[in-house]
Amino acid sequence: MELAHTMLRVSDPEKVIEFYREAFGFELRREKEMETFTLYFLRIPGQEAEIELTYNHGEDENYEKGDGFGHIAIRIDEDQELQEVYEKAVEAGGEDYRPPAECPGDYGFVKDPEGYEVEILDSA
């Protein structure tokens, strides 16, 4: 078995796709247009697990974030610096949420344009 994808409901798919592309190098692998919704599948090149963004047509409001969902985690490469990746994610449209200096370990958190938390993990 392997993880296939994690789904997030979004109100502005173009903005979210651009954030994950600019901040972390995700690529839009495919999209699927349905009658009442559109699916966008993003992945990091060379990996199979994806993030599925679901845009429900006609629902342009931000979705309420439930208490059960925590965050997405992305581990950076050995040749990357945690603070630099964090700053790049903020510059790409992420919310400066919990920078590495405020976290008790080798990680930091940004929020994507829809408010979902993304943990950035050091390679160590």
pLDDT in tens, the chain (124 residues): 888 999 999 999 999 999 999 999 999 999 999 999 999 999 999 999 999 999 999 877 777 888 889 999 999 999 999 999 999 999 999 999 999 999 988 999 999 999 999 999 998 7
The whole-angstrom separation of Cα 35 and Cα 52 is: 17
3-state secondary structure of 37: strand
Into how many domains does the chain fold?
Answer: 1
Residue 78 in domain: yes
Instruction: Give the per-residue pLDDT at 28.
Output: 98
CATH code for the domain of 109: 3.10.180.10
Residue 82 in domain: yes
Instruction: Give the per-residue pLDDT at 94.
Output: 98
Instruction: Give the per-residue pLDDT at 117.
Output: 96
Q: What is the DSSP string of 103-120?
A: SSSSEEEEE-TTS-EEEE
Instruction: Give the per-residue pLDDT at 65.
Output: 81
Residue 66 in domain: no
The whole-angstrom separation of Cα 53 and Cα 42 is: 8
Active site residues: 119
Instruction: Give the per-residue pLDDT at 62.
Output: 74
Residue 62 in domain: no
Mean per-residue pLDDT over the chain, rounded: 94
Residue 64 in domain: no
CB 110 within 8 Å of CB 89:
yes
Phi, psi (rounded to 5 degrees) for 85: -65, -40
Q: Which ranges of the chain does DSSP label H, i.e. alpha helix?
A: 13-24, 82-91
* Residue-number span of the structural domain to which 111 is assigned: 5-57+71-121
Residue 63 in domain: no
